Amino acid sequence: MLMRSLVDGHHPRLLAWHHVRQYAVPPSMIKTATARRQGGDWAGACAAARVDPDLNTRFLDDRHGRALADEIRTDLLHLAPDLLRWHLPRIRTGLLRPGLTLSLVRYSPRLHLVARTAPAWADADQRITLALWDSSAAVGASRPHRRFRLDLHRHLWDARHAAELRERSGAATWPATEGDKADTWAATKGDKADTGAGDEDGCAAHRWEAEADLLRQAEGRPSDPVLVRLDARTTHLLPARTAPSTTAAGKALVLPDAATWIPPDLELLHAGLIEPGQLHPLVAAALAPGAPPPTAPRPDQLRLVDCRGDRHRIALRDGVLSALDHDPVELLREEILVAFGGTPLPCLQAIDRAARRPETLVDIRARLDHGDLSGALAAVAELLGPDAVLRDGPLRDELARVEQRHVTYQQYRAGLICPFPDKHARRRKIPTSPSKTPTKTKVIR
């Protein structure tokens, strides 16, 4: 199935999503966050999923009243932060969409429970901030995004509604036959508001009308058209079915991004790129009910090396990667020879390469990019041993880069770094942080 996927038109996008599903939300995070959530520890679940709560529930009664405070606490108790991380919008690199404020619940037009991501230059560990956005008190805070919102899609973060994913994604009827899929797309193509060449792969056109009705009902605007944005150049206008509307496209409601596209997990399952056991358990229960749990393969700790005409073994011994077929006296002699410029044994060369540029460096770097520091360190310990000392090289450089990102993120959270030091720099959009310059991002499809 994987080879077949490499030749169809979907493979770049689906392979990118396969990479995200492999590294972005590790099973250890899901297991810990789920156990804490089920135990009533919503803050502990957030900590396990690298979500930083920026709200204090002790003062909710005084600020918002008992009834609203109880509603907020109930939502927090059922928040699955690992599921939220699983479904948050991402850019083409597979990382979380930076600098985003996304509504989870709208308690009133002026009060939202929101999730925020840091700007790209200040990101560390792909951390998410959970906060209450109050328009009357949010001085300088970014407003919730019109298009990227999950308040109409509780099944993407609320454990109580996770089973609704099957119906809301159209999993029971998708994919239809190729002819039906083409007819569905052709029916919506005539309403284009902009004739750019958009990416039609992954569009949930069969769900647009139903999702648009939910949006109109939530906004109290039953006769307004709904704008569907696919990319910067391709949009569609869905007119209201209740009455003709003369509202301009610029004033139309915007269909949430979560309703615009087929969930990538559904496409990955149908393409054979992923097994149900590799999905988030709540997602797997909705899209593939009754699927067997995954079986974790046991890694092979033993490696063979061609050394002086024979096959020698290197493996972990006493917490360190060692050459098993050389006695300590021989290894000490070889180390002395190497210190005087001699050529080391092939076994020692293999150990040195593993410590400087391991074969799994791509895997370790992917884990670090998605914030899985514990998983990356576990991979290093599995490769080199828990007591190994890192040597100069790409592996040590990667870990140093992560440490520097943590410093920048903590300074950003504390308000010690501002990306726009003055009004002239704000116009030029020049950050004060020397680490990264914000770049134009594209949403991963």
pLDDT band at residue 139 using 50, 70 and 90 as cut-offs: low
Instruction: Tell me the pLDDT tens digit for each residue of 17-49.
Output: 999 999 999 999 999 999 999 999 999 999 999
Highest mean pLDDT among 12-16, 71-75, 417-421 belongs to 71-75
Separation between Cα atoms, residue 155 and residue 283, nearest integer Å: 9
Res 437 pLDDT > 60:
no
Instruction: Tell me the pLDDT tens digit for each residue of 212-241.
Output: 999 999 999 988 999 999 888 888 999 877
Instruction: Tell me the pLDDT tens digit for each residue of 174-218.
Output: 654 444 443 433 443 334 333 232 345 688 998 999 999 999 999
Note the pTM of the prediction, 2 decimals: 0.74
11-25, 97-111, 257-271: which range is least confident on average? 11-25
Separation between Cα atoms, residue 310 and residue 304, nearest integer Å: 10
Higher-confidence residue of 138 and 266: namely: 266
Dihedral, CA atoms, 141, 142, 148, 151, nearest 10 degrees? Answer: 30
* Amino acid residing at 41: D
pLDDT band at residue 251 using 50, 70 and 90 as cut-offs: low
Q: Determine the average pLDDT of the residues in 325-343.
A: 82
Q: Which residues make beta-bridge pairs with 207?
A: none
The reported pLDDT for the residue numbered 425 is: 41
The reported pLDDT for the residue numbered 356 is: 66
Q: Which residues contact 51 (CB under 8 A, 6 or more apart)?
A: 81, 84, 85, 115, 127, 128, 129, 130
* Amino acid residing at 167: E
List C-alpha distances in Å: 205 to 66, 218, 239, 262, 366. Answer: 42, 20, 14, 9, 33
Res 418 pLDDT > 70:
no
Instruction: Tell me the pLDDT tens digit for each residue of 47-76.
Output: 999 999 998 888 888 888 999 999 999 999
